[in-house]
Structure 1
Amino acid sequence: MEWSSDQEGTLSRSGGSDWDKKLLRTLFLVNMAGIMEKADEALLPGVYRELGVSLHASPTKLGSLTLLRSIVQMLCFPLAAYFSVHHNRVSVIALGAMLWAIATFFVGVSSTFVEVAISRALNGVGLAMVIPAIQSLVADVAHPEKRGLAFGWLQFTGNLGKVFGNVFAVLLAGTTVFGVAGWRASFHILAASSVLVAFFVYRLAIDPRYKEGQQ
């Protein structure tokens, strides 16, 4: 089953309904990755108060964490774009999700402000990797006539993830989960969820630029 280039430069399918089901599954998994990516970005602001109390950090220092992650993420975008062009985008998305999951986990176990800052910087690397790969994969996987709809769903699920991440963090922030501070537990839970999404993306999604099974 291969994709061929037509006169307009778009990719066209061959292989029938089974191939279409795999493409639909890929779109679903990519949207799940988008949800987790946006949820991860929104998690930290939801626990600012509890994090500040725990690490004795001022509001200014807490705000600098998001700034640091954004700067690292911005600087990594060119490299992320290179990976999305020259490598299997499914593997890039899975790797990026694993990186941000590891960094998110370490935020939850950090005991100093410096440790949190380093973890958030590494988190920016993982978050940057997935965005160009997700957007270009959606463009290729979606049928040309439904490409706008596909990107609309991508924006919807991304914003849904942002809302979920913030609400989830706020609800857990002031609680205790099995003896663990709620704000720490929120990072652990999101990290574990991101690992699961990374696994399913790697195993079940496809990049139409590559033959099945080739990474």
Structure 2
Amino acid sequence: MKLRRIVIIDSSSYFLTRICIHEVLRTTRYFFGISLSLIIINLAAIVERADENLLPSVYKEVSEAFNIGPSDLGYLMFMRNFFRGLASPMAGILVLTYDRPTVLAMGTLCWALSTGVMGGSHYFGQVAFWQAVNGLGLAIVIPSLQSFIADSYSDSVRGTGFGLLNLVGKVGGIGGGAVATVMAGHEFWGVPGWRFAFVIISALSCLIGFLVFLFFVDPRRNELLDRGRDSGSVWVESWTAMKGVMKVKTFQIIVLQGLVGSLPWTAMVFFTMWFELIGFDHQKVAILFSLFGAGCSFGSLLGGIIADRMSQIYPHSGRIICAQFSAFMGIPYTWFLLRVIPPTVDSYHTYAITLLLMGLTISWNGTACNAPMFAEVVPT
């Protein structure tokens, strides 16, 4: 059993204390030539997306269980997204202070417990509160996942790296949403299906958090320890880094664009409920949801690959061109989906084809432009 000397950073006083601990599990491992850490990161992305899509997939059942309307359902999403946005800078401070396995495990456990408790809630206020806690967990996990991908790929293939992460994440979103939609129409041992789905995702999230803590190795752990020796205050360092990032023009433009660009994706969480209200049964809604998710999955990977090639040909505009194309394609598809197709069950196949093609073309922005450009303009 090998012993290794490491440094633990006490964030309250920032003193460094050396101790000897057993370091058997925290060695870099490979599975069929692929880093075990990268595999676990992708598993975490799968469960994270499944958790995100869980509530929107059972909107109709939640609405009936708590006697609430669409505005209240929107409030639940607002609570999660508001607290996730508010707490996201905290992830940067935690990553600067601790190694990412600990940070990821903390965030995963936070969202896992909140998801499980939501499944057992009996009052609307309880669901809203735990949605906020869920947002805090996601705020810690998502930036940490993205920073790991940024450190694991070079600039020339970073779009592909983010595309692969998005692809496997979307698989989890498809699976979580489709399974929850189908389960919502049944009962399991006297428990409503939508509540049972929350419990299952919670258990899987806890398992992933456990694997992250045991087997995930931070590729920048040594840099973290060196930075800890030289830095006087993590809070001063974090605040200085945040001010520096906010001064970057590329960062400012992407954030301003995101204020508008995120609105359609927020509205799309009502797709499942909308199709159910049109008259489709749970199985057909699950298929429609899966087709749209599959389109977005492969579209995000395709956008990342194309943008990598475009950035080599046009270094200063290639990624932006891809993002502009993807954003523009949302206009005709949204108009056709909402205004042209008759909202009846007879339009099932038309909806299916439209959603698949729509997902393939409107999902490029994050992997083709935003994430790779963030990684290039923001200091490590």
Structure with greater contact order relative to length (CA < 8 Å, sep ≥ 6):
1
CA contact (8 A) 1:96 1:129 kept: yes
- 1:90 maps to 101
CA contact (8 A) 2:28 2:36 kept: no
Cα shift at 1:147: 3.9
Task: Encode CA deviations 1:116-161: one digit per residue, 9 max, x unaligned.
Answer: 0001010000011011111111222346765443222101112222
Unmatched 5+ stretches in structure 1: 1-17
- 1:163 maps to 174
User: What is the distance in 1 between the residues matched to 2:54 and 2:171?
Assistant: 13
- 2:63 maps to 52
- 2:218 maps to 207
Say yes or no: does 1:21 pair with 2:34: no
Q: Higher mean Cα deviation, 154-163 or 115-124?
A: 154-163
Say yes or no: does 1:184 pair with 2:198: no
CA contact (8 A) 1:101 1:191 kept: yes
Cα shift at 1:20: 6.6
User: What is the distance in 1 between the residues matched to 2:146 and 2:197?
Assistant: 27
What fraction of aligned residue pairs are identical, expressed as a percent? 37
Structure 1 pair 208–54 and aligned structure 2 pair: CA distance change class (3 A): same
- Pairs within 5 Å for 1:15-164: 19=28, 21=30, 24-142=35-153, 147-164=158-175
**CA RMSD of superposed structures (Å):** 2.1
User: What is the distance in 2 between the residues matched to 1:68 and 1:19?
Assistant: 38
Secondary structure, aligned partner of 1:111: coil
Amino acid at match of 2:50: A
Q: How many residues align?
A: 196
CA contact (8 A) 1:35 1:158 kept: yes
Cα shift at 1:58: 1.5
User: What is the distance in 2 between the residues matched to 1:202 and 1:145?
Assistant: 30
Structure 1 pair 183–117 and aligned structure 2 pair: CA distance change class (3 A): same
Task: Encode CA deviations 1:148-186: one digit per residue, 9 max, x unaligned.
Answer: 432221011122222222112101111111221101000
Structure-1-length-normalised TM-score: 0.84
User: What is the distance in 2 between the residues matched to 1:20 and 1:68?
Assistant: 39
Amino acid at match of 1:183: W
Q: Higher mean Cα deviation, 138-147 or 79-88?
A: 138-147
Amino acid at match of 2:61: E
User: What is the distance in 1 between the residues matched to 2:40 and 2:111?
Assistant: 17
User: What is the distance in 2 between the residues matched to 1:142 and 1:89?
Assistant: 17
User: What is the distance in 1 between the residues matched to 2:175 and 2:152?
Assistant: 26
User: What is the distance in 2 between the residues matched to 1:193 and 1:52?
Assistant: 25
